[in-house]
């Protein structure tokens, strides 16, 4: 398909000298495989676009393809068997040993910073967005050949630790046993309301509630933060214990989500001894200005940002922005990255505008490398979630509920299913994660249980179901086809290894290849052609994920594949006894290709594909 695109572009360029050639994907496979919209060229040449399309259709010829004018578009349409050969070849034969849509290492380094929860708070449904969007971005960039560094800017520093220290010493002093009492860290899925982190969080909420009527408590919290910042041993000891408690719990959630980071050691606290040098850097560059009561700020009015960036408070303490500046300088030094993506909510748009503007002033190297990819916040029907007030939805509760709902359906419809519990977890996770991806990245999401864990419609389980159905067809087909149905784990592990092995030397583990059947006449039906067309859209969807910094295009394309598979399955009998062996082979090959593509796409999103459900 790539070669074809290239030829088409070249022929167009030859026919239209001096015109930018940008190809599109037609709306449906019936129209063709590639489309050239003639509007721009027609305008440049002073022609009518439809007339130009007609002229081009007559002037250009490409072997194996028809060029058809459809209104203002010039469509290139492959003969059914050529299309089948091109798509199946790309998926099954895994040219160059790479999974479908994966590209060779491109030598570019991308930092994806995501998740970044605040320590000592609980993981809510709000944190799912940054975690899973970030995960999909990291996976997809890697698949596209980037060298990816996955970072988590843990919120393990800041004034909230003053509050925690004050609350703890007020009410829970008495040794570590207080938070960890009756708690066994070895429990795989402890009741969230009994975990040390939850107890700590309750102290935090109580402190904020009581502080309303007792302003002196605020000074107490500030005092504790000051002690922490100046290296007081007791404050430090408690802080690192709080951090430890939080990390252990976050790790459990990351393991469940299948998400990992290059390091969890580069949280906000990590930059503490880099703050003074950072401030010095800003000072040397002549950027620091005295603000209110001796606070230090950087003015950004000249670049159109009216709020100055505060980097040091009047009492000399550092703030969030200071640590982000230090982090950016550190990352430049340590990674020499080409791009740094910050997957952080829309509520921090101003913060990142300020951050990037300061960096641009400080060092032109940063220009164009930094990108905030904001996402809409999750709201409750009654309004914003607030950790302080305690009205939040915990991510684990959502995942548990989704799993329970799936389990109940399995119990009703397929009680003999092997590995029921595992499948329920995969599908529950699929529902929640896919729901998130199908949402527009930037608009806020209103959380309701029924929407987030819906199992019908354009959902993860719908896509997962298509995969399981194909596996079942392959098992029934028997012989080497049945082996394909079992190859799932192996292929998946390979895809993963491959993703991790995308070193500059190229893929190390060759992706398992399978020959395309010689006779593809069994795939001429429009439903088979429609499925092939949607499969051909996956590499473009992957590119769109990286370009738009969101998983949505991939999620949508997977739904399109699953849906067209359903049409194919209904209209092109795969195992019907009257099929000739050649028809059967061709149709089964398309099944294998579809399963692989679905599995890979889900994998990039952090969702598993069950073999049975
Ligand atoms: N911990 C922050 C929060 O929960 C997000 C951190 C985002 N990343 C950054 N480099 N500032 O709001």
pLDDT of residue 205: 87
3-state secondary structure of 590: helix
Structure confidence at residue 12 as a pLDDT band (50, 70, 90): very high
Domain spanning 2-78 has what CATH number?
3.30.1360.70
Nearest residue (by CA) to ligand 1, atom 8, is 153
Q: Which atom of ligand 1 is nearest to the CA of 127?
A: 4
CA distance 513 to 501: 18
Of 9-23, 58-72, 134-148, 376-390, which gets the smallest average pLDDT? 376-390
Mean pLDDT (the chain) is 91
| Higher-confidence position of 602 and 202 | 602
Helices 233-257, 395-413: axis angle to 10 degrees equals 20
Residue 457 has pLDDT above 90, yes or no: no
CA distance 228 to 232: 6
pLDDT tens, 51-70?
A: 999 999 999 999 889 999 99
Cα of 116 vs centre of ligand 1, distance in Å, is 5
| Higher-confidence position of 517 and 96 | 517
Mean pLDDT of 455-484: 92
pLDDT of residue 509: 45
Q: Which helix (H) or strand (E) holds 36?
A: strand 34-37
DSSP string covering 512-574, please? Answer: PP-PPPS--GGG-SHHHHHHHHHHHTHHHHHHHHHHHTSSHHHHHHHHHHHHHHHHHHHHS-S
Cα of 101 vs centre of ligand 1, distance in Å, is 32
| Of the candidates 4, 24, 27, 44, the residue with the CA atom closest to the CA atom of residue 15 | 44
Cα of 220 vs centre of ligand 1, distance in Å, is 25
Domain boundaries, the chain: 2-78, 395-439+450-604
Nearest residue (by CA) to ligand 1, atom 4, is 117
Structure confidence at residue 36 as a pLDDT band (50, 70, 90): very high
Mean pLDDT of 563-574: 97
| % residues pLDDT > 90 (the chain) | 73
pLDDT of residue 506: 42
Mean pLDDT of 536-544: 97
Q: Which atom of ligand 1 is nearest to the CA of 345?
A: 12
Mean pLDDT of 539-565: 97
Q: How many CB atoms lie within 10 A of CB 577?
A: 6
Mean pLDDT of 331-335: 97
pLDDT of residue 495: 64
DSSP 117: P
Of 196-210, 503-517, 582-596, which gets the smallest average pLDDT? 503-517
pLDDT of residue 318: 84
pLDDT of residue 174: 61
3-state secondary structure of 75: strand
Cα of 155 vs centre of ligand 1, distance in Å, is 6
In testing the pocket of ligand 1, which one of 115, 116, 271, 318 has its CB within 8 Å of the most ligand atoms? 116
pLDDT of residue 173: 64
Helices 395-413, 420-438: axis angle to 10 degrees equals 120
Two tokens, residue 63: 């072997």
CA distance 339 to 351: 18
Nearest residue (by CA) to ligand 1, atom 9, is 153
Top CATH class, 395-439+450-604: mainly alpha
Structure confidence at residue 235 as a pLDDT band (50, 70, 90): very high
Structure confidence at residue 507 as a pLDDT band (50, 70, 90): very low
Q: Which residues contact 265 (CB under 8 A, 6 or more apart)?
A: none
CA distance 234 to 506: 50
Nearest residue (by CA) to ligand 1, atom 1, is 155
CA distance 346 to 444: 9
Cα of 496 vs centre of ligand 1, distance in Å, is 28
Of 163-172, 527-536, 575-584, which gets the smallest average pLDDT? 163-172
Cα of 351 vs centre of ligand 1, distance in Å, is 10
Q: How many CA atoms lie within 13 A of 368 on its CB side?
A: 3
**Sign for the pseudo-dihedral over CA of 152, 156, 160, 165:** positive
pLDDT tens, 277-309?
A: 999 999 999 999 999 899 999 999 999 999 999
Burial of 206 (0-12, 13-18, 19+ CB in 10 A): middle
Cα of 134 vs centre of ligand 1, distance in Å, is 13
CA distance 17 to 23: 16
CA distance 343 to 268: 16
Q: CB–CB of 133/259 below 8 Å?
A: no
pLDDT of residue 508: 41
Q: How many CA atoms lie within 13 A of 377 on its CB side?
A: 14
3-state secondary structure of 506: strand
End-to-end CA distance of the chain: 34
pLDDT tens, 389-431?
A: 667 888 999 999 999 999 999 999 999 999 999 999 999 999 9
Q: Taking CB atoms and a 6 Å cutoff, what residues make up the pocket around ligand 1?
A: 113, 116-118, 153, 155, 324, 342, 344
Cα of 118 vs centre of ligand 1, distance in Å, is 8
């Amino acid at each position: 398909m790539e070669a074809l695109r290239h030829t088409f572009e070249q022929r167009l360029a030859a026919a239209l000298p001096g015109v930018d050639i940008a190809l599109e994907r037609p709306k449906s496979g019936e129209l063709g495989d590639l489309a050239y919209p003639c509007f721009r060229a027609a305008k440049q040449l002073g022609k009518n676009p439809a007339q130009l399309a007609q002229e081009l259709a007559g002037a250009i010829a490409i072997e194996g393809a028809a060029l058809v004018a459809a209104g203002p578009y010039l469509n290139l349409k492959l003969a059914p068997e050529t299309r089948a050969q091109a798509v199946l070849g790309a998926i099954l034969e895994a040219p160059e040993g790479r999974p479908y849509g994966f590209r060779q290492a491109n030598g570019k380094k991308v930092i994806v910073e995501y998740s970044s929860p605040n320590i000592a708070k609980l993981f809510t449904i709000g944190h799912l967005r940054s975690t899973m969007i970030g995960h999909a971005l990291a996976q997809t960039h890697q698949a596209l050949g980037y060298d990816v560094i996955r970072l988590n800017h843990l919120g393990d520093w800041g004034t909230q630790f003053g509050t925690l220290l004050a609350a703890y010493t007020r009410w829970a002093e008495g040794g570590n046993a207080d938070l960890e009492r009756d708690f066994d860290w070895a429990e795989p899925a402890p009741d969230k309301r009994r975990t040390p982190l939850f107890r700590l969080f309750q102290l935090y909420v109580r402190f904020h509630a009581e502080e309303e009527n007792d302003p002196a408590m605020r000074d107490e919290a500030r005092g504790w933060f000051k002690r922490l910042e100046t290296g007081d041993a007791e404050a430090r000891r408690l802080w690192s214990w709080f951090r430890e408690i939080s990390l252990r719990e976050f790790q459990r959630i990351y393991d469940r989500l299948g998400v990992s980071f290059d390091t969890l050691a580069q949280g906000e606290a990590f930059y503490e001894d880099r703050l003074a040098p950072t401030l010095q850097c800003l000072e040397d560059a002549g950027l620091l200005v005295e603000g209110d009561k001796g606070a230090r700020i950087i003015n950004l009015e000249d670049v159109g940002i009216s709020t100055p960036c505060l980097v040091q408070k009047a009492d000399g303490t550092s703030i969030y922005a200071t640590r982000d500046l230090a982090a950016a300088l550190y990352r430049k030094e340590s990674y020499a990255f080409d791009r740094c993506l910050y997957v952080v909510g829309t509520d921090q748009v101003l913060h990142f505008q300020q951050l990037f503007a300061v960096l641009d002033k400080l060092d032109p190297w940063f220009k164009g490398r930094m990108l905030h990819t904001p996402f809409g916040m999750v709201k409750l029907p009654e309004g914003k979630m607030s950790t302080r007030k305690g009205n939040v939805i915990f991510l684990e509760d959502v995942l548990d509920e989704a799993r329970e709902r799936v389990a109940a359906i399995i119990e009703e419809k397929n009680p003999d299913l092997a590995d029921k519990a595992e499948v329920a977890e995969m599908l529950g996770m699929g529902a929640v994660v896919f729901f998130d991806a199908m949402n527009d990245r930037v608009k806020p999401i209103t959380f309701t249980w029924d929407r987030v864990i819906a199992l019908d419609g354009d959902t993860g389980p719908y896509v997962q179901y298509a995969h399981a159905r194909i596996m079942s067809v392959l098992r029934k087909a028997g012989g080497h086809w049945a082996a394909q149905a079992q190859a799932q784990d192996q292929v998946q592990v390979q895809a993963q290894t491959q993703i991790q092995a995308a070193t500059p030397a190229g893929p190390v583990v060759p992706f398992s290849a399978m020959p395309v059947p010689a006779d593809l006449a069994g795939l001429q039906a429009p439903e088979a052609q429609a499925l092939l067309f949607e499969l051909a859209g996956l590499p473009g969807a992957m590119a769109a994920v990286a370009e738009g910094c969101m998983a949505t295009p991939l999620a949508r394309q997977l739904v399109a594949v699953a849906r067209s598979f359903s049409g194919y399955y209904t209209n092109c009998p795969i195992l019907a006894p009257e099929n000739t062996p050649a028809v059967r082979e061709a149709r089964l090959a398309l099944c294998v290709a579809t399963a692989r593509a679905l599995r890979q796409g889900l994998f990039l999103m952090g969702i598993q594909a069950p073999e049975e459900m």
